[in-house]
Amino acid sequence: MTRELSLDEMASLTAGATMWTTQAIPEAGIPSLSMADGPMGVAGARVDERDISLLTPSPLALGASWDPALVRRVGRLVGGEAIRRGVDLMLAPNLNMARSPLSGRAFEYFSEDPLLCGTLGASWVQGCQSVGTGAVAKHLVCNDSETERDRMNAVVDERTLREVYLLPFEMAAQAGCAGMLTAYNKINGDWCAEAGPVVRDIVKNEWRFPGVFMSDWFGTHSTVGSLAGGLDLEMPGPARFLGSRSAGAVAEGQVEQGRLHDAAQRVATAARRFGAGKGMPVDEAAASELLIEAAAAGFTLVRNQDQMLPLDTRRWPRIAVIGPNASAPCFQGGTFAKIAVKPDAVLPVEALRARFGAAIVGYAPGVDPQPKLPRMPVRPARALDDGCARGMTLDYFDNADFTGRPLLSETRDTNSLTWFHGVHEAGALQANAGTRASGVFSASESGEHLFYVGGTGALRLLVDGEEVFRRDEQLAPGDVMGRLKSGDADSVTIALERGREVTVVVELRYTPARCQGLWYGVRGPGGAEAMLAAAEQMARDADAVILMVGETSDASVESKDRPDTYLPAEQLALIERVCAANPDTVVVTNVGHAFDTRWEQQARAVLHCWYPGQEFGAALAQVLAGEREPGGRMPVTIACEDSDYPALSLQPDADGNLHYRDGVRFGYRGLAACGVAARQSFGAGMGYASFKLCDARVRPADDGCTLTVSVRNTSARAGAEVVQVYRTQPELTLVGYQKVWLAPGEQADVSVAIALRRLQLWRDGWTTLPGPIELLAGRSSAELPLSAHITIKGDQA
């Protein structure tokens, strides 16, 4: 049933109803939509480790696959998981660009290249929406960094904006995405939620995009500015600037009624389109197989001296597993879209033991697997009806003095808690209140133990009833999110004898805010040098080593970029000492962005696994054993020196401006323009099979051209190659690619379609490059042995 909406009804649709839902008008046939954050799966609204969901490889890992068909299947998987979780709209995919290796959320970006990002993002959208779950592309636009993102103004020229940063969103629009999420930052002086030149003029009017535009959570700043700029929906609810205020703006003549009608219709259309007609939830067994396939498809082998991989136990009968990420892998980053991973997710060291059996002679972490915030391995202070035998007992009070009965008690087996207003059952985030966590810790070793505590308000830590830390400082409401996102903790040292049990109590007192957090942990004794020495000896005694290094999830967070591109110093020391003790070492990296790899020549093989999702262990074991190909190619460039990156610093100037002075020439484009060689080139990588490319020829097509290359598998095993095509002017630019699988000895002609737009520049309109246009083909941005030329007739947009 549909009918015309009143002014007040239209206004009501412009603001969310709750933290994660939109308003409903049932009598007009407009249901409420439920949303969840992404892109690596369906994030729980409560940010709760008990809300288990499927965790896919990160977008950067999917970007490394260079496989749109695979990414479409992963998008479909997430769409089906959303159905199981009762979610209508996914806030995904993230179509920002890996402009700098320092970006705190680079793991959420598909690539440093807009075409690769756009094609894969569009495929993810199509897959997710194929089952009836809407995809909301984010964050429009230039939210490519986290430093001061709530005030930063991205200053970008028109050509760069059109050709690079808007291109992935344009492709998502062409794929029919449900909507777009505006970013927190400003773009050329306008808040992105008020950026009429982008949202209204380009996306709505020029692209004719019919979807809904919603603000990122709490990302609105005005009523009239937001509506006039093209925003349709303020999130979350209840309304702060839109909602009923939208009707008031119309009544006062500040906003035309037609603009309010457009906003309401876009929200209503999305609600009717994605509020019903769902497909089926995912099959768990099929999901696991797809996630293994997808993880392996992104594993990027960049070094394999003397064909050390795949590992043959006849050649290497005694294999040591070393490194912190073997037992504490980084499945994902630490943003608010973090997924609660199934508790029985197989760790890499477990999967390697299962696959290689007696050939695995031992495991040594080498360095602390949790360098920033360790776990809190405790049992609850008292038993609750939830039956949980591990974790802290949480008591929530409606006062800051912890008096009276708690509003709610629960057991939480995590070291980091977050609560949003209107989501958590205890409620009282909008009042002076308190939370108490308590548990019993048993020391497994004698010595000094470090107890950590951090939170968004005043804190107190007690061990066996004795106050050992106190901070009475209360934060201003505007500081809470910054404290929460930083995750910084204080620590105190307490000597404990082995076997001693102590009661640990952490109290958080807070003032009203939209979000609160509490985190804690304990680190036992153990010398760093002793751990390194044990790993070194294990490497020396083995025939080969699998050395797993990388990050923890707090290395990739919101509102915080990285200071440099280096692995932790203790891990660099571990690489050096292990490889010196045994050069027959495979270094497996678990990092979510471009990073410094100047140590790579010390190892026999190097495999980048990025953030590979919940099936990391199974995928790694199968790839190292040769049962699957490492299918990845570099989605980003790794420079020889940090100073080689055309875009590195993400610090805005004193006025809040971050100038994109690199223009379109960042990543591989910028290095090529300066004649600087990369350490690991964009598009580079190898499988276990080998290929030969030859005979490039190009022919015109209805909308651009097609370049065809003959590809032959020159090895004795099946594998995949990625044919990449670049134009050379005015700078080296990827214009097309195609992944192809070939059997041993098989040869095929691989055709790469190149759209006309890929051969055009923005010069107050789309202008085709003058001919002859040189096209280069090969297997990376630095390995392009084949060339062809074409002249495109006409000069149309």
- Indicate the domain borders of the chain: 1-25+174-276, 284-366+537-667, 378-523, 689-790
**569-581 vs 528-541: helix axis angle to the nearest 10?**
30
H or E stretch including 494? strand 490-496
In 158-313, which ranges are continuous DSSP H helix?
Answer: 158-160, 167-174, 224-229, 244-251, 257-274, 284-298
Look at residue 393 in the predicted model and tell me its pLDDT: 95
Percent of the chain's residues with pLDDT above 70: 97
What are phi and psi for residue 36, nearest 5 degrees? -145, 150
Percent of the chain's residues with pLDDT above 90: 84
Catalytic residue among 67, 88, 216, 395: 216
What's the CA gap between 666 and 679, in Å, rounded?
15
Look at residue 559 in the predicted model and tell me its pLDDT: 83
Measured over the CA atoms of residue 480, residue 483, residue 484 and residue 489, the dihedral's sign is: negative
Look at residue 478 in the predicted model and tell me its pLDDT: 60
CATH code for the structural domain at 284-366+537-667:
3.40.50.1700
Look at residue 407 in the predicted model and tell me its pLDDT: 87
pLDDT, mean of residues 458-479 = 87
Indicate if the pLDDT at residue 683 is higher than 90: yes
Name residues whose C-beta falls within 8 Å of residue 501's C-beta, 6 or more positions apart in sequence: 440, 441, 442, 443
3-state secondary structure of 155: strand
- Lookup: tokens for 44: 């729980």
Rg (C-alpha) for the chain, rounded Å, is 27
706 to 328, 580, 778: CA distances (angstroms): 46, 49, 15
Indicate if the pLDDT at residue 336 is higher than 70: yes
Walk across the sheet containing 773-778 and list its strands. 733-742, 719-727, 773-778, 786-790
Q: Is 759:766 a contact under the CB 8 Å cutoff?
A: no
Indicate if the pLDDT at residue 11 is higher than 90: yes
What's the CA gap between 265 and 629, in Å, rounded?
48
User: How long a stretch of residues is the chain?
Assistant: 797
In 130-243, which ranges are continuous DSSP H helix?
Answer: 158-160, 167-174, 224-229
Look at residue 293 in the predicted model and tell me its pLDDT: 98
* Backbone φ/ψ region at 247: left (φ over 0), alpha (ψ -120 to 50), beta: alpha
Residue 216 appears among annotated catalytic residues: yes
What are the tens digits of pLDDT across the range 482-519? 666 666 899 999 999 999 999 999 999 988 877 888 99
- Lookup: tokens for 753: 């379609």
What are the tens digits of pLDDT across the range 371-403? 778 889 999 989 888 878 899 999 999 898 999
CATH code for the structural domain at 378-523:
2.60.120.260
pLDDT, mean of residues 141-162 = 96
Name residues whose C-beta falls within 8 Å of residue 190's C-beta, 6 or more positions apart in sequence: 196, 197, 198, 229
pLDDT, mean of residues 738-755 = 98
- Lookup: tokens for 48: 């709760």
What are the tens digits of pLDDT across the range 774-797? 999 999 999 999 999 999 986 433
Task: Give the residue carrying structure tokens 């370049």.
Answer: 707
Q: How confident is the model at residue 14 (pLDDT cuts 50, 70, 90)?
A: very high
pLDDT, mean of residues 239-267 = 97
Q: Is 623:341 a contact under the CB 8 Å cutoff?
A: no
Look at residue 456 in the predicted model and tell me its pLDDT: 87
3-state secondary structure of 457: coil
Q: How confident is the model at residue 477 (pLDDT cuts 50, 70, 90)?
A: low
Name residues whose C-beta falls within 8 Å of residue 703's C-beta, 6 or more positions apart in sequence: 755, 756
Q: How confident is the model at residue 322 (pLDDT cuts 50, 70, 90)?
A: very high
In order, the DSSP letters of 496-540 are E-TT-EEEEEEEEEE-S-SEEEEEEEEE----HHHHHHHHHHHHH
Q: Is 451:390 a contact under the CB 8 Å cutoff?
A: no
Indicate if the pLDDT at residue 546 is higher than 50: yes
Look at residue 63 in the predicted model and tell me its pLDDT: 98
More confident residue, 145 or 511: 145
Q: Is 239:245 a contact under the CB 8 Å cutoff?
A: yes
Indicate if the pLDDT at residue 125 is higher than 70: yes
Strand partners, 433: 510
pLDDT, mean of residues 165-191 = 98
Measured over the CA atoms of residue 502, residue 370, residue 331 and residue 338, the dihedral's sign is: positive
Name residues whose C-beta falls within 8 Å of residue 332's C-beta, 6 or more positions apart in sequence: 40, 55, 58, 107, 338, 339, 341, 553, 611, 613
Q: How confident is the model at residue 699 (pLDDT cuts 50, 70, 90)?
A: very high
3-state secondary structure of 275: coil
pLDDT, mean of residues 92-107 = 97
Q: Which residues of 26-47 are buried (b: 16+ CB within 10 A; e: fewer)?
A: eebebbbbbbbbbbbbbbbbbb
Q: How confident is the model at residue 698 (pLDDT cuts 50, 70, 90)?
A: very high
Fold of 689-790: Immunoglobulin-like (2.60.40)
Residue in 786, 790, 752 with CA at minimum distance from that of residue 768: 790
Name residues whose C-beta falls within 8 Å of residue 534's C-beta, 6 or more positions apart in sequence: 364, 366
Look at residue 423 in the predicted model and tell me its pLDDT: 63
What are the tens digits of pLDDT across the range 274-297? 998 888 877 888 999 999 999 999
pTM: predicted TM-score of the whole model, two decimal places = 0.94
Look at residue 796 in the predicted model and tell me its pLDDT: 39
| Residue 707: half-sphere exposure toward Cβ, Cα within 13 Å | 30
Q: How confident is the model at residue 2 (pLDDT cuts 50, 70, 90)?
A: low
Task: Give the residue carrying structure tokens 């089906």.
Answer: 80
Residue in 444, 381, 376 with CA at minimum distance from that of residue 413: 376
Q: Is 668:662 a contact under the CB 8 Å cutoff?
A: no
Indicate if the pLDDT at residue 649 is higher than 50: yes
What's the CA gap between 790 and 495, in Å, rounded?
74
CATH architecture of 1-25+174-276: Alpha-Beta Barrel (3.20)
pLDDT, mean of residues 199-213 = 98
Q: How confident is the model at residue 1 (pLDDT cuts 50, 70, 90)?
A: low
Q: Which of 233-247, 326-340, 466-480 has the lowest mean pLDDT?
A: 466-480
> To the nearest whole number, what is the mean pLDDT of the chain?
94
Task: Give the residue carrying structure tokens 């050939």.
Answer: 359
